[in-house]
Amino acid sequence: MASSPQIYYGTLAILNAMASITERFGNRVRKLRLQSKMSQLELAQKAQLDLTTINEIENGNREPMLRTIWRIANALDVSLSKLFDF
């Protein structure tokens, strides 16, 4: 049975909103990292994450899990809420 156009376009709207949030979060991480005068490698090491993970998050290509977000916040010495202040 085919999906209705309303469901299809509703799903697209949700996916677009998620992509927007992912990009905005990545931009926020990059901004806070640069304010802290840290390289991506330094942030990755401090957060105990792979460099690729930090790069993909900052470029909006990865939706991080809560544990990863928590590690990034701690490494940047900011609250979780400050990471989402965009």
DSSP string, 40-55: HHHHHHHHT--HHHHH
Percent of the chain with pLDDT over 90: 76
- For 36, the 3-state DSSP assignment is coil
Six token digits for residue 85: 């202040």
pTM of the entire predicted model: 0.79
Model confidence pLDDT, tens digit, residues 44-63: 999 999 999 999 999 999 99
- pLDDT at residue 31 greater than cutoff 60: yes
- Domains, in order of start, for the chain: 5-83 (1.10.260.40)
By the 10 Å C-beta count (0-12 exposed, 13-18 middle, 19+ buried), 56 is classed as middle
